[in-house]
């Protein structure tokens, strides 16, 4: 009997946990975008290790991403950056000192207030609450969007891509979690979501429809230590933008 229970209980727990997560995700999808992500941070839904922004913001994905940005700073001569959807600043704190000025924006007032408390002493960093879908993005050499689009609908992503193009930025770096193998890109979500397109076996590719942006694939980062071959990868695209709001 004990053996039977040991076999049944773990998968049952996992299934119940999955159901609860789906219910929560559906409920948050009905809230305004700002309220949904505020709740994610207040209740630490994404926290698995140290970062409130989730496992993608720590470990090898964070280290490898920051190394790539450091290379770009040198090779492209970048001095100013916008971290669009900065989350809990786990990534920003590792990058900010490489720029003369670093603007960190997020829709969650809760996480921005927390960032101001922890990192307000950084002289070259400005934190601001901003909905990237609605408000103009400040001008900078580089706009970084890291694991933000994966939570938004295609219409919301298009609005942000247009805002980035209009900002006058020279470059935009888009980093998104995608399936390891072949996948149908950009399957739409019914609303913004605390989960990602991995749930619908898809991921964001800004070079594919409906975005069709011209961008070069810089890297597909596997998480280390390397685990199962079907683990998602972090895909990085660099867009070179033209003055006047167009994409090259
Ligand atoms: C998974 S977190 C990634 C945080 C950070 N970029 C990183 O990689 O650590 C996604 C972030 O996007 C923010 N976000 C989602 N929609 C947004 C919007 N419309 N405007 C600004 N930030 C948004 C969320 O509040 C959240 O902090």
Phi, psi angle pair for 200, to nearest 5°: -115, 30
Question: What 3-state DSSP class applies to 13?
Answer: helix
Among 107, 194, 195, the mutation site with the greatest number of ligand 1 atoms within 8 A of its Cβ is: 107
Of the pLDDT bands very low, low, confident and very high (cuts 50, 70, 90), residue 6 is: confident
Predicted pLDDT at 245:
60
Burial 3-33 (b: 16+ CB within 10 A, else e): eeeeeeeeeeeeeeeeeeeeebbeebbeeeb
What's the 211 CA to ligand 1 centre distance in angstroms? Answer: 19
Residue 232 lies in a domain: yes
Cβ contact 98:75 at 8 Å: no
Ligand 1 contact, 133 CB (< 6 A) = yes
State the pLDDT at residue 104: 98
Quick check: CB of 131 below 6 Å from ligand 1? yes
Q: State residue 54's pLDDT score.
A: 87
Backbone angles phi, psi at 27, to 5 degrees: -65, -45
Please indicate, yes or no, if residue 190 is contained in any of the structural domains. yes
The count of domains in the chain is 1
| CA 36 to centroid of ligand 1, rounded, Å | 11
- Residue 21 within a domain: no
**In ligand 1, which atom is closest to the CA atom of 37?**
25
| Residue 122 lies inside a defined structural domain of this protein | yes
What is the rounded distance in angstroms from the CA atom of residue 15 to the CA atom of residue 82? 39
25 lies in a domain?
no
pLDDT digits (tens, 9 = 90+) for 17-72: 888 888 888 899 999 999 999 999 999 999 988 899 988 889 999 999 999 999 99
Q: State which ligand 1 atom lies nearest to the alpha carbon of 87.
A: 27
First to last CA, the chain: 66
Is the C-beta atom of 132 inside 6 A of ligand 1?
A: yes
- Output the pTM of the full model: 0.93
pLDDT at position 175: 98
The tens digit of pLDDT for each residue in 92-112 reads 999 999 999 999 999 999 999
**DSSP letter for each residue of 59-74:** HHHHHHHHHHHHHHHH
Q: Which domain does 67 fall in, by range?
A: 31-247
**CA contacts within 13 A on the Cβ side of 16:** 6
Q: Is residue 230 in some structural domain?
A: yes
Q: With a cut of 80, say whether residue 244 has pLDDT above it.
A: no
Any domain includes 101: yes
> Is 14 a domain residue?
no
**49-63, 167-181, 210-224: which has the minimum mean pLDDT?**
49-63
**Residue 156 CA, closest ligand 1 atom number:** 19
Average pLDDT, the chain: 94
> Which pLDDT band, with edges at 50, 70 and 90, does 84 fall under?
very high
How far, in Å, CA of 193 to CA of 23, rounded? 11
- How far apart are the C-alpha atoms of 203 and 48, rounded to whole Å? 22
Considering only CA atoms, which residue is closest to atom 26 of ligand 1? 87
44: domain CATH number? 3.40.50.150
* Ligand 1 centroid – CA 112 distance (Å): 11
């Amino acid at each position: 009997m004990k053996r039977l229970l040991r076999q049944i209980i773990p998968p049952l727990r996992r299934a119940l946990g999955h159901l609860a997560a789906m219910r929560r995700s559906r409920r948050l999808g009905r809230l305004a975008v700002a309220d949904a992500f505020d709740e994610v941070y207040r209740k630490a839904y994404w926290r698995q290790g140290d970062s409130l922004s989730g496992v993608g913001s720590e470990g090898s994905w964070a280290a490898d991403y920051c190394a790539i940005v450091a290379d770009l700073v040198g090779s492209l001569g970048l001095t100013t950056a916008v971290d669009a959807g900065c989350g809990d600043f786990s990534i920003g704190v590792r990058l900010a000192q490489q720029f003369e000025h670093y603007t960190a924006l997020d829709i969650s007032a809760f996480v921005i207030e927390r960032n101001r408390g922890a990192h307000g002493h950084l002289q070259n960093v400005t934190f601001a609450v901003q909905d990237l879908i609605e408000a103009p993005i400040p001008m900078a050499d580089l706009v970084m969007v890291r694991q933000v689009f994966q939570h938004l609908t295609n219409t919301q992503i298009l609005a942000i891509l247009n805002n980035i193009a209009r900002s006058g930025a020279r470059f935009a770096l888009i980093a998104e979690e995608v399936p390891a193998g072949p996948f149908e890109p950009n399957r739409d979500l019914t609303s913004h979501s605390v989960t990602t397109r991995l749930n619908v076996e898809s991921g964001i590719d800004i070079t594919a429809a409906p975005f069709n942006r011209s961008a070069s694939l810089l890297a597909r980062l596997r998480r280390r230590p390397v685990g199962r071959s079907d683990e998602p990868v972090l895909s990085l695209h660099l867009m070179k933008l033209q003055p006047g709001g167009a994409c090259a």
